[in-house]
Amino acid sequence: MPQSFVSPVTLSVVTPMYNEREAVDHFVGRLRPVLDGLGVTYEVVAVDDGSRDATVSRLLQLRADWSALRVVALRRNVGHQAALAAGLQSARGEFVVSIDADLQDPPEVIGEMLAAAHEQRVDVVYGVRGDRSTDTVFKRRTAGIYYWTMRRLAGPWVSDQAGDFRLMSRAVVDVLNALPEQNPIYRLVVPSLGFASAEVSYVRAERVAGETKYPLSKMIKLTLDSLTSFSAAPLRIATWLGILSFLVCLGLIVSGLTAWAMGAVVPGWTSLYIAVLLLGGIQLICLGLLGEYIGRIYAATQNRPRFLVAFDTDKDAAAVDPAELAARR
Ligand code: UDP
Ligand code: MG
């Protein structure tokens, strides 16, 4: 791990952005005064996750008068967690804060997080949502089920109020960057590492502009990745279902033999049909479960890059022409 590396800035603020053209001005307008007021050196790593709107060109325009704004553009949309991974790999700060671009996480809290890290000498400071009343009922319900399940499967350290708004020290970020995992779910992995931590509570606001970039399909993917990356328990469901169906079969054999002995032979099409369907269903579920894990083992052995950086303004500034980009999009 590159422990000898001296961070050139105190703080990196990492923000994944996907089609955030409508939110980006609000975000920058509110973030900048907060960071300027902290009195520490900083960089903002805006990771463009393959947006199809003008997010990148707008970011490059904003960068013209805010040199601390660094734009790391990915080649295609890889999803929130992988975009976060790209940001963590690029960040150079002694401390790294990850925050959403839609101002649901208030930037003002970053100061409190940094102070907590210094005063309490901890490596992680979680932003804890005190109030989610601005989220839709559907979002709160599904989030509630997700965290309940993950606490049971992944471990009691999973907080139901901590999302991806958190501060981490260089030591934590180095560990995360060195993980060989294909799809780490940071909100579960970070607490599982066991670094000393503190919490800062905040009120989750409404998205400032645009709409959620987490449709149901992405929520399901996050849940499947979370489940399979932390627990083999679902595989055991197969065993239990197998035992259960074996017991049911035993019962059926006994009742069948009794009926045969008493000479009352049942025509039996319905029961046969139900038994075949039931067992077939159970077997398919179990095969599907195995497939979920095998698919991930397959992806891990392929070891393809999770994301590719198209450009990073701090490394290849000359290669980026905002006018050309604007024309392309
Ligand atoms: N995001 C991303 N890639 C995606 C989806 C989302 O980088 O494929 C970013 C998005 O721009 C935002 C953050 O992840 O900064 C959280 O997304 P969003 O606010 O839409 O999620 P929600 O708050 O509705 O759960
Ligand atoms: Mg949001």
> Is 3.40.50.1220 the CATH number for 11-213+305-328?
no
Average pLDDT over every residue of 168-174: 97
For 43-92, the pLDDT digits (tens) are 999 999 999 999 999 999 999 999 999 999 999 999 999 999 999 999 99
CB of 164 sitting under 6 A from ligand 1: no
pLDDT of 228 higher than 60: yes
pLDDT at 319 over 60: no
Residue-wise pLDDT tens digits, 190-207: 998 999 999 999 988 888
55 lines ligand 1 (CB under 6 A): no
Ligand index nearest the alpha carbon of residue 19: 1
Q: pLDDT band at 317, cuts 50/70/90?
A: low
Q: Read out DSSP for 155-211?
A: -TT--TTEEEEEEEEHHHHHHHHH---SS--HHHHHHHHT--EEEEEEE----SSS-
Residue 20 CB–ligand 1 contact under 6 Å: yes
Neighbours of ion ligand 2 (CB under 5 A): 100, 102, 104
Taking residues 295-314, what's their average pLDDT?
A: 89
Please state, in angstroms and rounded to a whole number, the distance separating the CA atoms of residues 182 and 167: 22
pLDDT digits (tens, 9 = 90+) for 243-265: 888 888 888 888 878 888 887 76
Task: Please state the pTM of the whole predicted model.
Answer: 0.82
Distance 189 CA to ligand 2 centre (A): 21
The answer to whether residue 4 scores a pLDDT higher than 90 is: no
Q: Which of 14, 27, 100 to mutate to test the pocket of ligand 1 (most atoms within 8 A of CB)?
A: 100
- Residue 5 is predicted with a pLDDT of 65
| pLDDT at residue 95 is higher than 50 | yes
H-state helical runs in the chain = 21-36, 55-63, 80-90, 109-120, 137-154, 170-178, 186-193, 216-230, 233-261, 269-302, 322-328
Query: What percentage of the chain reaches a pLDDT higher than 90?
Result: 47
Q: Which atom of ligand 1 is nearest the CA belonging to 212?
A: 20
Instruction: Categorize the per-residue pLDDT at 323 as very low, low, confident or very high, splitting at 50, 70 and 90.
Output: low
For residue 1, what pLDDT is reported?
46
Amino acid 321: pLDDT: 61
